Amino acid sequence: MTASVRHSRLLIPIVLGSLAMIGPFAIDTIFPAFPAIEDDLSVSRVAMQQTISVYLLAYAFGSIFQGPMSDSWGRRPVILAGLAIFGLASLGAAFAHSFTMLLVWRGVQGASAGVGMVVGRAIIRDLYEGDDAQRLMSHVTMIFGIAPAIAPVIGGWILPWADWHGIFWFLVGFTLLLMVMTAFGLPETQPPARRYPMHPASLLRNYVAILRNGRFVLLCVCGGFNFGAIFLYISSAPAFVLDILKLNEQQFAWFFVPTIAGIVFGSFLNGRLAGRFSGRRTVNLGFLLCGIAATGNLLYNLLIEQPTAPWAVLPVMLNAIGVALVFPLLTLAMLDMYPRQRGAAASMQAFIGLGFNAVIAGVIAPLAQHSTLALMLTAGGFSLAAWALWRLYLFHRREDPLPVDTESVTPGPAERV
């Protein structure tokens, strides 16, 4: 292995993982500032929850176009343009002095924030196949997983020095750093010979063709429920940490560090299992851990009157390990179905998944975040639904051949799980 190849193998996961961080950074850094924003802008906690749901809805909408744009114009230009828009939106939020303007800029942030995650997934499959792709995906997930752990801690550190506007100034600086990393550390993996013109009609046909693939949709919804079991807690973090666990704005680490440690460890384990376990076996192991976590969480909430850290967070951490074993392999399986339109496939996966997250943050979390038992029952239901869809996917894969699509998007011959 040459020095340049070794350098590339080390640098690319760092760049892609850092790009994926921008999404959770934009969500989680402002969690400690919720009380300050509520007081400053005279809004309720439920209204503040809409800063998350608006962001996620815009994220889902933007992701529809980012993948196909990268298929047509190249990966790097689309990432750099998305980062520039996100930086400007963060600057606008830093100057916002009304809740309406804050929501507007949060929407612009969301519409551009997904570019690193969506296009990054396509880049992984551009560069590697098989077990190598699984390892790179797990490495990127490990780096990405650090963001939700450190973001609220950073937000808590900033608050005493620069109030809540300073958090958005931090996001401006972080975006500039990502632009430099992308410009100098990320290769172009979609050469002109593989690009094709992007027209609204063909884009619509491609998405209709993808949505007609029942297995793709099953895996998308399965992944949405699987990750939703963790995202429910993340989107409920202000109420969970401040109201239920009775901690303060500087103590969000009691929740985020164990949870994200679970994601990082699960991602590390996923990479170690590549080539040793089949993808199906790894996914089954992940769902087993999710089931054990849900059972333990239920018993804890039935036996304990007042939940406390860290015990209330340990089942969430175990569930996070299971999610990190399942989700990357579901993603690779979906991308493998469309080797010629990986950007479009990644966009559709992101759109469906983020639509789930927006509903969780804007509708389900406000209803469930009043108690740990309600959170546990909802998250456990998500995990159970994901497992049921996974079993249904395996049944259909065994019974039916992969449908041949006569439209412009044709499923590939291989799936990883």
247 exposed, middle or buried (CB, 10 Å; 0-12, 13-18, 19+)? middle
With a pLDDT cut of 70, the percent of the chain lying above it is: 91
Instruction: Tell me the pLDDT band of 193, cut-offs 50, 70 and 90.
Output: confident
Instruction: Tell me the pLDDT band of 6, cut-offs 50, 70 and 90.
Output: very low
Given 3-state DSSP classes, what are the helix, strand and coil percentages for the chain, each rounded to the nearest 5? 80, 0, 20
Least-confidence region, from 18-27, 174-183, 213-222: 18-27
Longest dimension (CA), the chain: 63
Rounded CA separation 65/70 (Å): 9
145-163 tens-digit pLDDT: 677 778 888 888 898 888 8
pLDDT(389) > 80? yes
Rounded CA separation 70/270 (Å): 28
What tokens were used for 89?
A: 């939106």
Instruction: Tell me the pLDDT band of 211, cut-offs 50, 70 and 90.
Output: confident
- Mean pLDDT value across the chain: 83
Give residue for tokens 């850290």: 309
pLDDT(405) > 70? no
Residues in the chain: 417
What does DSSP assign to residue 404? Answer: P
Q: What is the mean pLDDT of residues 128-147?
A: 73
For position 350, what pLDDT does the model report?
Answer: 81
For position 139, what pLDDT does the model report?
Answer: 73
Instruction: Tell me which of 346 and 39 has the higher pLDDT.
Output: 39
pLDDT(400) > 60? no
Distances (CA, A) of 354 to 56, 114, 148, 220, 344: 6, 10, 16, 10, 15
Q: Is the peptide bond before 310 cis (omega within 30 degrees of 0)?
A: yes
Instruction: Tell me the pLDDT band of 409, cut-offs 50, 70 and 90.
Output: very low
Q: What is the mean pLDDT of residues 287-305?
A: 91
Highest-pLDDT range among 170-174, 277-281, 297-301, 331-335: 170-174
Helix (H) or strand (E) holding 64: helix 45-73
Q: What is the mean pLDDT of residues 354-361?
A: 81
Which residues lie below 8 Å from residue 3, measured CB to CB, with a gap of 6+? none
* Backbone φ, ψ for residue 277 (5° rounding): -110, 150
For position 9, what pLDDT does the model report?
Answer: 62
For position 399, what pLDDT does the model report?
Answer: 45
* Backbone φ, ψ for residue 209 (5° rounding): -65, -40
Instruction: Tell me the pLDDT band of 407, cut-offs 50, 70 and 90.
Output: very low
User: What is the CATH code for 3-187+196-399?
Assistant: 1.20.1250.20
Instruction: Tell me the pLDDT band of 411, cut-offs 50, 70 and 90.
Output: very low
For position 3, what pLDDT does the model report?
Answer: 42
For position 89, what pLDDT does the model report?
Answer: 96
For position 398, what pLDDT does the model report?
Answer: 61
Sign of the dihedral through C-alpha 138, 144, 145, 146: positive
Least-confidence region, from 79-93, 94-108, 336-350: 336-350
406 exposed, middle or buried (CB, 10 Å; 0-12, 13-18, 19+)? exposed
Highest-pLDDT range among 62-71, 108-117, 197-206, 353-362: 108-117
For position 1, what pLDDT does the model report?
Answer: 42
For position 315, what pLDDT does the model report?
Answer: 92
Highest-pLDDT range among 18-27, 45-54, 324-333, 374-383: 374-383
Distance of CA 162 to the CA centre of its chain: 28
Full-model pTM: 0.72
Q: What is the mean pLDDT of residues 295-316?
A: 88
